[in-house]
Amino acid sequence: MIEMMLTTALVLFALAIAIALYRIISGPSIPDRVVAMDMIVVNLISGIAVVSVLLKTKAFLEVILILGILAFISTIALSKFIERGVIIERKRDG
């Protein structure tokens, strides 16, 4: 019973990823794509969590954490790139 529920959840996540993928491919502006990417990663996090319940292991919890951090950092980086043109600014007086 629980297994079927989890599988259903995975299918729904996959559906969400597919929809976000559509936005990435067609999305007219770059911010659209960035947000869609962020959404894909969040869905991946949830998917991995469900998979680790399915596999009955705690070993993938670090993966979830790492993905969360990576998604955050890359979204920030891309935002900064869109805003200012560079990601890491040099010192003005350097």
Residues of this chain that bind other proteins (CB under 8 A): 14, 24, 44, 48, 51-52, 55, 57, 59-60, 62-63, 66-67, 70, 74, 77
Residue number, 62 or 93, with CB nearest to other proteins: 62
Closest distance of CB 60 from other proteins, Å? 6
- Sort residue 89 into left (φ over 0), alpha (ψ -120 to 50) or beta: beta
What are the φ and ψ backbone dihedral angles of 23, each rounded to 5 degrees? Answer: -65, -40
Closest distance of CB 55 from other proteins, Å? 7
Closest distance of CB 1 from other proteins, Å? 18
Closest distance of CB 5 from other proteins, Å? 16
Contact 60, 51 (CB under 8 A): yes
CA distance 55 to 73: 29
Contact 72, 81 (CB under 8 A): no
Residue number, 1 or 55, with CB nearest to other proteins: 55
Residue number, 61 or 92, with CB nearest to other proteins: 61
Token digits of residue 86 = 């560079």
